[in-house]
Amino acid sequence: MNARANAPRPGSGKTAKEERAERKKGGRCPICGRPTVHEYRPFCSKHCADIDLGHWLDGRYAVPGEPIGAENADKEEKN
């Protein structure tokens, strides 16, 4: 067995083997860090899923790109 797999990972307190096993099981909720529940994956509960939805609706998460309407504004400025 590889000795590095049994050494704690920096910052996590878990070994690489434990981290791989956790990822296989489903990982952790991105909101609160608890283990995920299959029904609400990748979250642990409906509550955390609703919190994440609220973040999207509030605009806290954004996909990078050109602002909507920027193309039309450039054309209008040239005219």
pLDDT of residue 45: 97
Q: What is the pLDDT along the chain (79 residues), one digit of tens a residue?
A: 455 555 555 555 667 776 666 556 669 999 999 999 999 999 999 999 999 999 999 999 888 888 887 666 656 666 5
Question: Is the separation of the CB atoms in 43 and 52 below 8 Å?
Answer: yes
Which residues, including other chains, have CB under 8 Å from residue 42's CB and lie 6 or more apart?
26, 27, 29, 30, 36
Q: What angle do CA 57, 58, 64 make, to 5 degrees?
A: 85
Q: Supply the DSSP symbol for 1.
A: -
